[in-house]
Amino acid sequence: MAKIAVVGGTGDLGSAIARSLVKAGHQVSIGSRKAESAAQHAAELGGQVGHGVNAEVAAGADFVIVTVPYAAQAGTLRDIKDAVGQAIVIDTTVPLVPPKVMRVQLPAAGCAALEAREHLGPDVRLVSAFHNVAAHKLAEGHGVDCDVLVFSDDVEARTEVVSLVASMGLRGLAAGSLANSAAAEALTSILIFFNKTYKADGAGVRFTGLTTAPPIS
């Protein structure tokens, strides 16, 4: 059981992740820019779920999962930077540039995860993950046919997040350094393209041939 803040936890992905974490028995708090909105979403998840503005819920957590749109990433990370302490920050940001969300448009830094590093500074324990999971599929709670790629330059933090993902009933795979997050971030546009082109209701990605990886559940 871990203490987990979901920052931006009032959005689709944040709500779905929070719901899944509550189900897995973790102690979850919902963060938002607006305390009222956080309180409302927390109430929907049941009485045990905490809430507050982003920096409040980030303080004292074991994991801080950041689930905000790309346009809000920089501001949100700066808001929580001084509060996170030794918590592992899990950035889920996909650098989509509306309206062309089916087109891969990675930022000049290489990917949103490397930008997160810039926003948080060198001392925060940073991992990126959850780029490819369809929020509505996760929210439905019937399992998601999609691996979760987990990236970090901090191998210990990455391993902890792989375990956290597993506790949610998903297959987490260590996928290399933070720079490698570009692959998962880019894939999201491909999955959106597939949703339209191949009439998928939440396309996903699976990796094959991994002898020593956890089995697909």
Closest separation between CB of residue 114 and a second copy, Å?
10
Distance from the Cα of residue 200 to its chain's centroid: 22
Site for a second copy (CB under 8 A): which residue of 35, 72, 97, 179?
Answer: 179
Task: Determine the interface stretch with a second copy among 36-44, 55-63, 80-88, 174-182 (rule: CB under 8 A).
Answer: 174-182
**Structure letter (DSSP) for residue 4:** E
Which residue do the tokens 């000049």 mark?
Answer: 108
183 binds a second copy (CB under 8 A): yes
Site for a second copy (CB under 8 A): which residue of 32, 180, 215, 217?
Answer: 180
Closest separation between CB of residue 74 and a second copy, Å?
21
Q: Tell me which residue of 169, 166, 78 sits closest to 117, measured CA to CA.
A: 78
Residues facing 149 on adjacent strands:
173
Nearer to a second copy among residue 63 and residue 151 (C-beta): 151
163 binds a second copy (CB under 8 A): no
182 binds a second copy (CB under 8 A): yes
Distance CA 143, CA 24 (A): 13
191 binds a second copy (CB under 8 A): yes
Task: Give, for 7, the enclosing helix (H) or strand (E).
Answer: strand 3-7
- Residue 143 CB: number of other CB atoms within 10 A? 12
DSSP string computed for 49-78: -EEEEHHHHHTT-SEEEE---HHHHHHHHH
Site for a second copy in 141-160 (CB under 8 A): 145-146, 149
Which residues in this chain contact a second copy in the complex, by CB under 8 A?
102-106, 110-111, 145-146, 149, 173-177, 179-183, 186-187, 189-191, 193-194, 197-213
